[in-house]
Amino acid sequence: MTKVLITGTCGFILGNFIRKAIYEKQPYSFVSIDKVSGNANALYSHKNHVFHVADIRDQHIIDKIFQFERPNIVIHGAAESFVDASLTDPNAFVTSNVLGTQVIINACVRHNVRRLIYISTDEVYGHLTSESDPPWNEEAPLNPRNPYSASKAAGELMVKAAHQSFGLIYNITRSSNNYGPRQTSEKLIPRAIKCILQGEKIPIYGQGLQIRDWTHVFDNCSALLTVLNQGKPNETYNISANQELTNIEVIQKICNAMGQGHDLISFVEDPRKGHDFRYSVDSSKIRELGWKPNYKFREGIVDTVEWYKINQWFLK
């Protein structure tokens, strides 16, 4: 059986991904790595999932894990990912997202990994300045605007350089904003849910007019499986459900789903100098592989709210 090594399975996306892959009895055995620095509640324990506590920046321990496990395919998703935190401590993002990615690349090359799938973000494109601008396709230039997205773009370039220098086969995925179960409360949607549950003010930067393209995490996971199973060598794939909403619209829909909270909305000063206005990606390339999203935001946000109401312990 093909062995897949995944980095970052204590995180939101990969924690859900490994559940989905195992539930669906995908024809793989799984091993994963995470340094378990914060919330480990997303980690999934299963007989078909071997877990190692390790820091991706530690070349020695990563090489030992690769030597012992001998993975055929690697999905690299471990990363620092909170934009606001990258403004206060950019170094942490460079060491994790750039140096850590190079450590994983080195191990893939040394241990003859068949393919590396690198989990990136639509934020590497920068931002669109108008609601009428066409969405980015995979050929759009990279123009990151904060330390987080710059570090993810740098990781992409390291992966591509490894293909040219060492023949490493790769795929890159760039997903739009994700939402759904098991996302930590630093992010917009679970933070708003937590505030409403606790009767606290919901902070919204500026007037909440920033536009984001929202994809349910389960749809992103199915897209990753599509790339794993059918992705063409050395191709990049945008992942998006093409559901654009302003931040204030998202918060209002959460309040509607919870039946309360509209009076808690509080507009605050944006800590960023020039908040990215709009993200929008064209996902037609991955749809040509047969993938399509199954979740409409209006239903997905209701399901998400219900999950957090039942699992309030996750927000603590």
| Catalytic positions | 122-123, 148
C-beta separation of 233 from 115 below 8 A: yes
Query: The tokens of 28 are what?
Result: 């793989």
Residues present in the chain in total: 316
What's the gap between Cα 206 and its chain centre? 25
Alpha carbon separation from 208 to 4, 38, 145, 251, 286 (Å, rounded): 40, 28, 19, 9, 30
- Phi/psi for 282 (5° steps) reads -90, 115
Q: Decide: 251 and 265 in contact? Cβ < 8 Å.
A: yes
Determine the Cα–Cα distance for residues 17 and 218; give it in Å rounded to an integer: 8
Residue-by-residue DSSP string for 183-224 = --TTSHHHHHHHHHHHT--EEEETTS--EEEEEEHHHHHHHH
The candidate with the shortest Cα–Cα distance to 218, out of 149, 277, 291, 294, is 294
Considering Cα of 199, then 38, then 148, then 78, what sign does the dihedral take? Answer: negative
Q: Which residue has the tokens 């509080």?
A: 266
Alpha carbons 300 and 191: distance in angstroms, whole number: 17
**11 burial type by CB count under 10 A (0-12 exposed, 13-18 middle, 19+ buried):** buried
Q: In the β-sheet with 28-34, what is the strand arrangement from edge to edge?
A: 49-53, 28-34, 2-7, 73-76, 115-121, 170-175, 235-239
